[in-house]
Chains A and B, each alone.
Chain A
């Protein structure tokens, strides 16, 4: 069959398909999102966006108990959310194969922390599989399902950004037809109460021993024998960097199945080479094990713990051993202005943020989504943030601390997106109502999960597989949670007057108050189509150059010859600039097409 160029994520989806998987669930998160998006193209697989990662893993876990091959996927921090089911699914085991993908983000290209989820495998006592390119993404995924069924365990598949988002050549195969395995009621296996879990823990330890035997013969662990001067133990993308730097001047032990470790294989590889090096990204997950085994090696004494590895970092770390001369690197790019991501022209978060930014003595507990970008100048709406869903609950804590010191005056606003509210904000709001904390919650409903590239969620009326769905109505939900009806405002965030009125009422409220802004993301095709015809323009004869319109941070507006100027191609005609101009210098025009 002809070779094709696939990303790691496309390849994992392909592997899941070829393995005969039936049920797949995920919550989006960079760099894992495209796996489920690609799976949704295979009608043989029921695939869904779950409201969060815990739900996704439980859906997949239930399907596996029922005897189907099941899959779920998330970004690294998603596994923190799904950790609760993970640790106990590790006890129940499965009926049909269960593979859980975690996509880690060394370098944090779009994440809030850098955590190495290989440790989760050891902590939860489930096997760990680590691919280094797209072909391995297919092959290792399929092998992971086999391991899962042979050893009655969930399997953790761990990828990183560079594996997920890099393309390399693969060969595809047809889908395997996997019949449903018989489910039989067995409480000792599937219902974890203390009485059942105690013997289960012993079984889990015994299972690890069998898996350690498997590790020695697993096709995922292999040696690439070259020079015996240097031996390198590695896995994941680090293998590619090591291979580029050392080439045939080293032999490699690739650890694709890396928990439990193939200890005999490691010992015999180590004893066959003169110098041993462990090359891995972030934590010394493999290296620490070697040290415990009493095998001396180089590794984190030369390689960094923080940030991504690269060819250059590996080359520099071992230059004394290799004797290579360094590449010349130009230094002409110092002191350039950064180009951070920004809220798009027409973004519906801009109008309400502009109004919030004018509140004096207010604190903003923000959350994760496009609107996090509003924390930076010129809007400055955002003071602190932990993780998805933390805005409301952390806001409660901040407000309670203030109140206990008599600081009733400082208003605390929690700002949260629609997808994030469904993910883990609802429980925070239940706390607000239950404990009657005078917090203002602003739910920014842009009708989509925007930051990760437009995934549907329970509020959008469409499923991952493209079917029409019931829209969960946020105002109804908020009311049902117990927020007083006269303490709820539903507004269009592009209408600054409506924003001001709502924020004014919130400012005066003594009880829990919720503002729901409802306007679709400016990048949604139907919105782009509508806005494509119109734009706003500045009349340079009227403009005084006061720069009020620059304070909304719109990428379409800049100064040109001391007057404001709007880039017609970028303008999305939201009209927020028109509303902030006190000199009526901005007016709407139609683009001729």
Chain B
């Protein structure tokens, strides 16, 4: 859209239960506190049962649609490889791609009715130069629990998008359950350093 000014669009794509929603919440809350106009959109409902989930976060001086158009995402963060590939049509030509090197088999694959493609990473790197591939699941497990892989990926995303200069720690402290704050802060810092 030729006249389109300054909206930045970030898409998080994963599988129900991976914590994309919390990551999107932390991100959009931080951007709000930075003083941007912010919109965020996600689909609930069936997604809880292990289906694909996406969260759209957009910010700028004025945001219209809460949903990112095809070809309009400045950054796509895939919490699972196949979901990253599925959402690739949303990524801008020069957009930033971050991928969690993790396979979660969908039911048709589990029961042998379909195959999990073997060349996901090759296809992703071919499409997006400078694509960041992270073993967020494994790294998070080393911190104590794979549950914080979402915040680790968020840390990487924030670093890649040059949004570092903001007290994200405060946002995490406000939005994460007190018992898990420490671990999430660690994951966030690790994600930043890996990006």
Which A residues are within 8 Å of any B CB, using their own CB? 3-5, 30-31, 109-110, 133, 161-162, 165-169, 237, 240-241, 243-245, 247-249, 310-312, 315, 324-325, 327-333, 336-344, 370, 373, 377-378, 451-453, 523, 547, 550-551, 553-555, 557-559, 569
Contacts and interface: CB of A to CB of B under 8 A. Distances in A.
Given A167-B41, A336-B82, 15 more contacts: A166-B67, A167-B39, A237-B66, A243-B65, A310-B69, A337-B82, A337-B108, A340-B107, A341-B50, A342-B50, A377-B113, A451-B45, A453-B48, A553-B107, A554-B110
Contact of A341 (B48, B65, B109): B48
A312 B16 CA distance: 26
B49 A162 contact: no
Interface string B95-130: 000000000011111111111110000011011000
9 contacts: A165-B43, A166-B39, A168-B66, A169-B38, A330-B89, A331-B89, A339-B52, A553-B110, A559-B112
B111 A312 contact: no
Contacts, number: 185
A5 B28 contact: yes
Contact of A569 (B43, B64, B146): B146
Contacts of B4: 244, 247
B179 interface: no
B93 A342 contact: no
A378 B108 CA distance: 9
Contacts of B82: 336-337, 339
Top 5 closest pairs, chain A to chain B, by CB: A110-B45, A327-B71, A341-B49, A166-B66, A337-B114
Contacts of B89: 329-333
A134 to B, nearest CB: 9
Contact of B85 (A162, A333, A342, A343): A333
Nearest to B113: A377
Contacts of B47: 341
Contacts of B112: 547, 550, 559
A5 B16 CA distance: 23
Given A240-B64, A338-B106, A569-B146, A330 B41 contact: no
Nearest to A244: B64
A332 B28 CA distance: 29
B44 A453 contact: yes
B167 interface: no
B50 A344 contact: yes
Contact of A312 (B32, B39, B45, B70): B70
B186 interface: no
Given A162-B66, A169-B38, A341-B49, A325 B15 contact: no
B1 A336 contact: no
Nearest to B84: A333
A249 B41 CA distance: 26
Contacts of B41: 162, 165-167
B37 interface: yes
Interface string B69-90: 1111000000000110111110
B25 to A, nearest CB: 9
Contacts of A373: 49
A328 B71 CA distance: 6
Interface centre among A5, A550, A558, A559 (most CB of B within 10 A): A5
A166 B40 contact: yes
A124 B49 CA distance: 37
Nearest to A245: B1
A240 B56 CA distance: 15
Contacts of B114: 337-338
B139 interface: no
A324 B108 CA distance: 41
